[in-house]
Structure 1
Amino acid sequence: MPARLTLSIGQHTDPGRKAVNQDFHGSYVPREPQLSVKGAALAVADGIGSSDVSHIASETAVAAFLEDYYCTSDAWSVKTSVERVLAATNSWLHAQTQQGQGRYDKDRGYVCTLSAMVIKSNTAHLFHVGDTRICRVHAGALEPLTVDHRVSLSPGQSYLARALGVDAHLEIDYRTVSLQPGDLFMLASDGLHEHVSAAEVQEALSAGADLDEAARLLVARALSNGSDDNITVQLVRVETLQAHDAGELLQQMAELPFPPQFEPRSEFDGYRIMRPLHGSSRSHVYLALDLATGESVAIKTPSIDLRDDPVYLERFLMEEWIARRIVSPHVIEPVVTERKRSYVYLVTEYIEGVTLAQWLRDRGKPDLDAVRDIVSQVSKGLRAFHRLEMLHQDIRPENVLVDRTGTARIIDFGSASVAGVMEMTPFSPGGGGATLAGAALYAAPEYFLGEPGTVRSDVFSLGLLAYHMLTGQLPYDVRIPQAKNRAAQRKLVYTPARGHDPSIPAWVDAAIEKAVSIDPHRRHEDVSEFVFDLHRPNHAFLARTRPPLIERNPVAFWKGMSFVLLLALVVDLALRR
């Protein structure tokens, strides 16, 4: 079994010489599988002394961070999850400030500083606003990992430049730190970090029986050194790190054997195989009957020929994890059951329909309205992926199912990328960190440069889908997979869709051309923008193609010209006098 993340944590707080402790701290180390998926979290908050309610702000900030972070989508990256939680917390604190005395004096509002850390896999994610501080403890030294947001006016006089609850908009520092076993970090309020030295931290760590005792010794040392503020410290030491293995971390099914090739009427795990639906070198899909419910389901099994390919197995196992998190009428749904499994397989709803590839063969080239309809539906499914920081990465006619009602659904998540999982498998630019997951002909050009995908990569594939539906061809033919460097890609030229079918409106062709631009920065930022441009001319296109005024309205043009000439004549006469 791979190593798991284990931490030692010690923490202590004291009001010091003040009557009220406006500091607040907390930590949470969940059990598996949440520890692998979301990580462990720690936070220290410090209220401002001029406010009578800042202790509420501190407690709210830490409690909301620790509770709400673990309620965010498992598919979101740590950065997205924490930033959204803190933005919501800041909005609430700022609203309370606006309703009280802080509306006229921010120093009396619901305001606090915050330093937070999420330790996930082999990385520490740091979030910071204010003058609390996170340091890495080395032998005889403290390495600051955050920068105080405090502006000095004169010796002994300064003010906070940033804090939670001050403004409606929150700007928070974020950075990541790679971890090694034995790494030790300290989170502290200014009541402590301004009054203890690196040597005193080492002394406390050496004298303390454990990290809790070391934290109490540090608070006592800060008091004896003259600290007149609330004092809070957290110490966290990395004991062991988990292995970079997303498949084993997220799917316990990895320990199950691959299933055999099933025959009709064979039964297993409460299912009866009715007939094969699809087969390839990578997987087999069967129509099956759920004997417990009487419902028809589709069962997808991996190819036994690829059982020794760990990358293939990891992607197959990720399919169910992804399917359970996507909620959209345009994405196929998994069938969730608590039955014990005998093999590795995926169960989804059974939909009577055909793939878009077969739909096109049966109907021939569809009209523009039909293309818009299918592309719009697929885009809604893609947006469900993108909202959870997932990329499908394999949109093509074979991976879109059209049922009897004309509803299009995205199927096959074997190539999908999940930001929250990618954090567990660091990407090395130019070092093979990105691999081509989907079909080469529908893959965005950046994949062939070894770059990771973005939302614009899925936009590219959706643009190819629209082009293929309208023309039966591809805009770059088969040249993109062959262009594996930037020089070769710059030579690729878009073949206008109107060259295949002159009835296609020029502005529709322009929308597709933008979606399938070789340079991702020239594409639409989101699939919804592309769909919008398919339904109405883009303003940039209208401005580029709008005829000159003399052609659109000759009378207005000559009236304007006459006015300009008259004005020039008047000016000339005035200058002659």
Structure 2
Amino acid sequence: MSLTLRTGQCSDKGRKPCNQDFHGLCVPAQPQLATKGIAIALADGISSSDVSHLAAQAAVRSFLDDYYCTSDAWSVKTSVERVLVAANSWLHAQNQRGPGRYDKDRGWVCTLSAMVLKSRTAHLFHVGDTRIYQLHGKALEQLTQDHRVQVGAGQSYLARALGVHGHLEIDHHTVALAEGDTFVLATDGVYEHVPPAAIVAAIERHGDALDRAAREIVDEGLSRGSPDNLTVQIVRVERLPDPQASELARLATELPLPPMLEPRAVFDGYRIVRELHGSSRSHIYLATDESSGEAVVLKTPSIDLHGDRAYLERFLLEEWVARRISSPHVLKPRAGVRARSFLYVVFEYVEGRTLAQWMLDHPRADIAAVRPLVEQIARGMRAFHRLEMLHQDLRPENIMVDATGTVKIIDFGAARVAGVVEMAPERDVHPLGTVTYSAPECLLGQPGTARSDQFSLAVITYQMLTGQLPYGTEVAKCKSLAEHRRLKYRTARQAQPRLPSWVDDAIEKALQPEPHKRYGDVDEFVASLHRPDPDFARSGRLPLIERNPLVFWKSLSALLALGCVLLLALLHAGG
């Protein structure tokens, strides 16, 4: 038996010009129904903002999408908190780029209440003044607490909401489920104007048609003069999984580490082909899914680190990062087709070679061969940056090139998700990035930015063109920003004389030790590899042949013609 619900939902803009509420519900197929449960969410934008309806929509969509991207081995609380903190960081970042930076009442701000019903437990999460109720007989019990502060004379303000601050505090508590339990999620446009008795009566009249009950509740609010948007969701538990299934769902959050895997062994429905890579931190295997015959990659954590919770948290974070990103240039995780018995992750198999191997086959590659590879890596980077995430470990070994020349970024173990603070970071000894490719600010312990990933890409670009590193091994010896500033850039044209000087200038700019001196965006760096940067032309750094080839050749022809005339004159004068 599996968890079964009956639901009803209704939303109306009411007397307002647009609906700033947004709601949603997701009932996944197995095995996610057992391992992740059913998610419901309701968000309410603030009326003073012209973009709060977008904030509400983004909050609900990111919650419903990203929750199911989190690892099956995470608890519901950990998964939802990570998702909501990431959503809050994204909304806050939008505010910092617009009017909301100075006036949050005009920004990307909303309140949110959400539920995850998994096995025999309801998990409630809440920020703001939307509400969750539970029906007890003919009474409604409010399960959430409004985060609204009264200042007198009927005036109040939100004490908590998504998007207001970079830090987010989330209310969470659990409720044991029984068959027949009914929950109601509502915005203030409903609960401030519809009496609880009217809500209960509507649910009783339309017990088997909860959409009609939700519509009746909204209509009741309109008839009572509600001036706000009105949204209500009704959830009734029809059937619960039996205790045995419930126990399996609980064990899914406490998965043991897998054993060492050998070729031809069958493991959780996968037949191991061979080990692709092994280290002190993880093991990567090529395997075949026995149900579909598809080639996949299994990644398992090292048994030696079974007691390192920070490491296991980061291992699981890698899968969530991969699931959130949709880009042809970022390695894709394989969708779960069955419940797992051990802790591991599954990715698509890319038949090809690493960029490190590509560089061995193409030493000192021509700029024409390098440009398309850099452009694809940049597209993958942008997929991270759009979600307020950083890769933090871009290096040739973490980039795959398949037989068609398509590039994919792999290995997200060092990825940073904005706003998400790892558990016990002081215990996390995993090196974030490789010294020779990391930006100076990261090596000095400062938080990275998109320009830090840009620095790593520029190092890779330089190495593809020259077979060398721009600063050699000196970067690893620098212990302060002052020492980094004294680093001397080795011009790429020494190893690649045919390289246009403006390309060399572009790479040098992206490799500046100080982040603010680099390009503002990776797109600018990629563009500067295709055409001269106007800033270099204005500064006179480009030779005339590259600034204006037509004028150069005309001038050269004129000089040659003048030289010929002078030569003829000298010959004539000499008899």
TM-score bin (small chain): 0.5 to 0.7
Q: How does 1:425-574 map to 2 (within 5 A)?
A: 436-544=431-539, 545=541
- Between the aligned partners of 2:322 and 2:392, the Cα distance in structure 1 is 15
TM-fit CA distance, 1:503: 2.7
Deviations 1:78-126 (A, max 9, x none): 25358979x9xxxxxxxxxxxxxxxxxxxxxxxx999733489999689
TM-fit CA distance, 1:272: 0.9
2:182 paired residue number: none
2:413 paired residue number: 414
Please state whether the residue corresponding to 1:466 is helix, strand or coil. helix
Question: Relative to 1, partners in 2 of residues 1:434 and 1:531: Cα closer, same or farther, differing over 3 Å?
Answer: farther
TM-fit CA distance, 1:315: 1.6
- Between the aligned partners of 1:396 and 1:62, the Cα distance in structure 2 is 35
Q: How does 1:78-93 map to 2 (within 5 A)?
A: 78=88, 80-81=90-91
Q: TM-score, normalised to structure 2's length?
A: 0.59
Alpha-carbon contact 2:273-2:286 (below 8 Å) kept: yes
TM-fit CA distance, 1:459: 0.7
- Between the aligned partners of 2:518 and 2:251, the Cα distance in structure 1 is 39
TM-fit CA distance, 1:331: 2.0
- How many residue pairs were aligned? 420
Alpha-carbon contact 1:514-1:522 (below 8 Å) kept: yes
Deviations 1:384-403 (A, max 9, x none): 22222222111111011122
Instruction: Indicate the larger mover: 435-444 or 464-473.
Output: 435-444
1:515 aligned partner, one-letter code:
A
Deviations 1:463-501 (A, max 9, x none): 000011112221122233443433333222322222333
Deviations 1:337-386 (A, max 9, x none): 32121222222222222211122223333222112122122112222222
1:311 paired residue number: 310
TM-fit CA distance, 1:62: 9.8
Question: Relative to 1, partners in 2 of residues 1:333 and 1:141: Cα closer, same or farther, differing over 3 Å?
Answer: same
Question: Relative to 1, partners in 2 of residues 1:424 and 1:113: Cα closer, same or farther, differing over 3 Å?
Answer: closer
Alpha-carbon contact 1:23-1:58 (below 8 Å) kept: no
1:116 paired residue number: 110
Deviations 1:286-310 (A, max 9, x none): 1212111112222121111222222
Please state whether the residue corresponding to 1:512 is helix, strand or coil. helix
- Between the aligned partners of 1:79 and 1:402, the Cα distance in structure 2 is 33
TM-fit CA distance, 1:510: 0.6
Alpha-carbon contact 2:440-2:484 (below 8 Å) kept: yes
Alpha-carbon contact 1:274-1:286 (below 8 Å) kept: yes
Q: How does 1:152-551 map to 2 (within 5 A)?
A: 174-175=164-165, 179=169, 255-419=254-418, 422-423=419-420, 436-544=431-539, 545=541
Deviations 1:53-94 (A, max 9, x none): xxxx99978985776565676776325358979x9xxxxxxx
Alpha-carbon contact 2:92-2:164 (below 8 Å) kept: no
- Between the aligned partners of 1:379 and 1:507, the Cα distance in structure 2 is 19
- Between the aligned partners of 1:447 and 1:411, the Cα distance in structure 2 is 20
Please state whether the residue corresponding to 1:264 is helix, strand or coil. coil
1:11 paired residue number: none
1:303 aligned partner, one-letter code:
S
TM-fit CA distance, 1:534: 0.9
Identity of aligned residues (%): 40
Deviations 1:186-224 (A, max 9, x none): x989xx9xxxxxxxxxxxxxxx99xx9xxxxxxxxxxxx
Alpha-carbon contact 1:319-1:412 (below 8 Å) kept: yes
2:110 aligned partner, one-letter code:
A
Please state whether the residue corresponding to 2:313 is helix, strand or coil. helix
1:237 paired residue number: none
TM-fit CA distance, 1:334: 1.9
- Between the aligned partners of 2:472 and 2:39, the Cα distance in structure 1 is 43
- Between the aligned partners of 1:36 and 1:455, the Cα distance in structure 2 is 35
2:504 aligned partner, one-letter code:
D
- Between the aligned partners of 2:315 and 2:521, the Cα distance in structure 1 is 27
- Between the aligned partners of 1:113 and 1:448, the Cα distance in structure 2 is 35
Deviations 1:160-203 (A, max 9, x none): xxxxxxxxxxxx99445664979xxxx989xx9xxxxxxxxxxx
Question: Relative to 1, partners in 2 of residues 1:253 and 1:498: Cα closer, same or farther, differing over 3 Å?
Answer: farther
- Between the aligned partners of 1:115 and 1:39, the Cα distance in structure 2 is 19
TM-fit CA distance, 1:136: 3.0
Alpha-carbon contact 2:42-2:60 (below 8 Å) kept: no
- Between the aligned partners of 2:459 and 2:535, the Cα distance in structure 1 is 21
Alpha-carbon contact 1:394-1:416 (below 8 Å) kept: yes
- Between the aligned partners of 2:259 and 2:504, the Cα distance in structure 1 is 48
- Between the aligned partners of 2:108 and 2:522, the Cα distance in structure 1 is 36
1:385 aligned partner, one-letter code:
F
TM-fit CA distance, 1:277: 1.4
Alpha-carbon contact 2:110-2:163 (below 8 Å) kept: no
Please state whether the residue corresponding to 2:286 is helix, strand or coil. strand
Question: Relative to 1, partners in 2 of residues 1:113 and 1:333: Cα closer, same or farther, differing over 3 Å?
Answer: closer
Q: TM-score, normalised to structure 1's length?
A: 0.59
- Unmatched 5+ residue regions in structure 1? 1-14, 49-56, 88-111, 127-132, 147-171, 193-207, 213-228, 235-250, 557-577
Alpha-carbon contact 1:274-1:289 (below 8 Å) kept: yes
2:90 aligned partner, one-letter code:
T
Q: How does 1:63-102 map to 2 (within 5 A)?
A: 70=63, 77-78=87-88, 80-81=90-91
Question: Relative to 1, partners in 2 of residues 1:176 and 1:456: Cα closer, same or farther, differing over 3 Å?
Answer: closer
1:328 aligned partner, one-letter code:
S
Please state whether the residue corresponding to 1:334 is helix, strand or coil. coil
Alpha-carbon contact 1:432-1:450 (below 8 Å) kept: no
- Between the aligned partners of 1:82 and 1:365, the Cα distance in structure 2 is 43
Question: Relative to 1, partners in 2 of residues 1:125 and 1:322: Cα closer, same or farther, differing over 3 Å?
Answer: farther
Q: How does 1:20-59 map to 2 (within 5 A)?
A: 42-43=43-44
- Between the aligned partners of 2:465 and 2:107, the Cα distance in structure 1 is 56
- Between the aligned partners of 1:532 and 1:403, the Cα distance in structure 2 is 24
- Between the aligned partners of 2:55 and 2:302, the Cα distance in structure 1 is 48
- Between the aligned partners of 1:482 and 1:377, the Cα distance in structure 2 is 31
TM-fit CA distance, 1:527: 2.1
- Unmatched 5+ residue regions in structure 2? 1-13, 68-82, 98-105, 115-123, 130-145, 173-186, 200-224, 231-249, 556-575
Please state whether the residue corresponding to 2:353 is helix, strand or coil. strand
Please state whether the residue corresponding to 2:324 is helix, strand or coil. coil
Q: How much is the aligned-residue C-alpha RMSD, in angstroms?
A: 5.4
Question: Relative to 1, partners in 2 of residues 1:360 and 1:81: Cα closer, same or farther, differing over 3 Å?
Answer: same
- Between the aligned partners of 2:448 and 2:357, the Cα distance in structure 1 is 28
1:117 aligned partner, one-letter code:
T
Please state whether the residue corresponding to 1:77 is helix, strand or coil. helix
Alpha-carbon contact 1:276-1:287 (below 8 Å) kept: yes
- Between the aligned partners of 1:416 and 1:542, the Cα distance in structure 2 is 37
